[in-house]
Amino acid sequence: MQGVLADHGRIDVLVNNAGRGAVATLEQLTDAQLQEQLDVNYLGVARLTRLVLPSMRAAGRGRVVTVTSVGGAVGQPFADAYCASKFAVEGLMQSLAPVAATFGVVVSVVEPGPVASEFVGNVHRADADAPTDDPYAALLGAYLRRTAGAFDNAQTSEQAAEVIVEAATTAEPKFRWQTSDQAAGFVGMSLKDLDGAGVLGVTSTWIA
């Protein structure tokens, strides 16, 4: 951060794009694994954003674009730690946005759905260490089969990146962006679901 400010005098845009995934339900997660999710997906974002705010505030302008996920609006089976960290960062950014705006700093979140990348191959998988009599095995198997189908139709990384660039450069900024029509429909299901029955009705079918 100090090097960028020394070389360029200011920071115009921060894109928080680091992310880490885990496929496990709560009983299968250790405290350390929960902390790993928070460190990357939430606390790392908070720390870096806090570092750029003084220079943006002093300049009276700036953009903070945080890549969250549809999992930041819709909780999903076996994504307990991942969705919790993404819900947390969305709450952080939505709370920060009106305060930062008074200093000319625009805060936005970008919510991708499935993206064809190396992300899925790098997630922590509970079934890798599960006992042979794992009571969650059948449920997890159903979830993984459903997820594989979703990623068969994933958008490209380039398509998702185009939305991130737009959020960072548009003359008409907004807080919440989705990277595809599929993502917009999925997030919208949760945002209008006042009692939670709609989301749970859908996600319960993923593990049937």
The answer to the question of residue 145 being in a domain is: yes
Q: How crowded is residue 99: how many other Cβ atoms within 10 Å of its Cβ?
A: 11
Q: Are the beta carbons of 62 and 105 closer than 8 angstroms?
A: yes
Number of domains in the chain: 1
The answer to the question of residue 45 being in a domain is: yes
Amino acid at 171: A
Q: What is the pLDDT of residues 20-63, one digit of tens each?
A: 999 999 999 999 999 999 999 999 999 999 999 999 999 999 99
The whole domain housing 107 covers: 2-180+187-202
The answer to the question of residue 135 being in a domain is: yes
Q: What is the pLDDT of residues 147-197, one digit of tens each?
A: 877 777 788 999 999 999 999 999 999 999 999 999 999 999 999 999 999
- Residues near 57 by beta carbon (within 8 Å), at least 6 away in sequence: 100, 103, 104, 105
The answer to the question of residue 208 being in a domain is: no
Burial class (CB in 10 A: 0-12, 13-18, 19+), 197: exposed
The answer to the question of residue 207 being in a domain is: no
CATH of residue 52's domain is 3.40.50.720
Q: What pTM value is reported for the model? A: 0.91
Active site residues: 82
